[in-house]
Chains A and B, each alone.
Chain A
Amino acid sequence: MGSKKVGNQTIVFENGPYIISGHTIAGPMEGQGPLAASFDTILKDTSDGEKSWERTESKMLEKAMREVANKADIPLDSVDYLLAGDLLNQIISSNFAARQIGLPFIGLYGACSSMALSMAMGSMLIDGGFGSKVICSASSHHETAERQYRLPTEQGNQRPMYGQWTVTGAGGVLLSDSGTGPKVTTATIGRVIDYGETDVNNMGAAMAPAVADTIINHLNDLQRQADYYDLIVTGDLGSVGLQLLLKVLEKNNVKIPNNFNDCGVMIYNTEQDTHAGGSGCGCSAIVFAGHLLKKVYAGNLKKILFIGSGSLHSPTSALQGETIPAIGHAVSIEV
């Protein structure tokens, strides 16, 4: 075993890559939320002139991939790997976006944890010496997710109060072996945890134990306390999942300073009536690559633990009554 692995499931990067740029594209609803100012592009409508929402999602992701390279002033050709993930069957948004880009591509599926997963994998590729520039990205789209996982968009239905709203958005970051600024310093790859939740509308509850497991292992492996970080931010637990996470951590004697938050909670106003907050790959992707990364660049945040949370069910498994397995992947970003 290499010396980079510490404890049970954490990797400490020797030469952690720099996050040299980030780009975000958000949907109209996200553009009315509190983080609107942090997004690079806000779509006027959910289709953005495309004939299907699937095409819109793929186009957003492609644009995010191109723009991160553009912003960092790096020709796209010099990027070694493209990592991306999304929620649609066979990750078509990522595959189709990568078709347009034409770079070596690794498609990832970690459900809503895809952004954190892609950053962990990208950092491994760079620290391992397998490349020097990696684009890590993820996307989701409210309408594409809705029609795949739930009901047709025009079908009337009352969403439960603990339900979450899939974010329309695509975000990407460019990792580089050289540069200045924030670095990915460690990554904790999560394991799949299932606490028996069967309600697909209550994904926060399904994912909270997996996130708790990853946080506990991360802190144990590195012998850190939670207050080591300025911010511990989860991907899309929503308000219900975040409360559950804090309760579970408390039961496991993790001292909880007041530094926990969740991208799904941050992205919408309560007046937007999303119930428990945002969800989807795009949720953590645009909050991280937009709002949080800007704060890190500005020096307002120095140490972040970013934990993507993914709920690994499918419409088929849900219909067959299976419980929902979930996963959390953590990366720490330090200046």
Chain B
Amino acid sequence: MVKKDLRPPNLNITPEDYKELTTQLSPKPTLLKNTLLAFLIGGLICSIGQVFVNFYMIYGGLPPLSASTAGTASLIVIGAVLTGLGVYDDIVKVGGAGAILPVTGFANSMVSPAMEYKKEGYVFGVGAKLFSVAGPVLVYGISSSIVVGFIYYIVGLVR
């Protein structure tokens, strides 16, 4: 907490004024450029995913739903390998959310901590850190799906 009654001389500026000054002087993100790049990189990754899906449908003979799953799985592997090669963080630096949100980014968030903490062992390092971001995603994803399912179940009973 901010302590207000320090021995003088005190700074002649209130925390509120200082906060305003900080906001004023801190450079803002380059919104237009970031948004455009997020669109391009995000769009590009998804198009690559679409190519995979199409490939699995046409050449793999998979039904659309399985092809979609296989496409997603392929991108997960690509994201993981690019992270291992040390490339994916550079893609995110350019593409921002365009590279974070696709499943490639999800794979990046799993591999990077696991790889980083490998020196701390295969159980507490790799094993535990693999889920430092994937854990919360699964917790909230699965829990919310259970809530959705429960509501759907109740609604079905009432009908």
Residues in A lying within 8 Å of B, measured CB to CB: 8, 51-52, 147, 151-162, 191, 193-197, 202, 205, 209, 212-213, 216-217, 220, 240, 243-244, 247-248, 251-253, 275-276, 323
Contact = CB atoms under 8 A, between A and B. Distances in A.
Interface stretch (B67-75, B105-113, B140-148): B105-113
B137 to A, nearest CB: 14
Interface residues of B, number: 44
Nearest to B115: A154
A144 to B, nearest CB: 11
Contacts of B60: none
Contacts of A191: 6
19 contacts: A51-B119, A152-B113, A154-B108, A155-B133, A156-B112, A159-B93, A160-B29, A161-B30, A191-B6, A194-B3, A195-B19, A196-B19, A216-B9, A220-B9, A247-B25, A248-B13, A251-B11, A252-B11, A275-B27
Interface of B: 1-3, 6-7, 9-13, 15, 18-19, 21-22, 25-30, 34, 83, 86, 88-89, 91-93, 96, 99-100, 105, 108-109, 111-113, 115-117, 119, 129, 133
**B contact face: mostly helix, strand, loop, or mixed:** helix
Contacts of B116: 147, 152-155
B25 A154 contact: no
Contacts, number: 119
Contacts of B6: 191, 193
**Which one of B22, B92, B105 has the highest number of Cβ atoms from chain A below 10 Å of its Cβ?**
B22
Contacts of A156: 88-89, 91-93, 99-100, 105, 108-109, 112
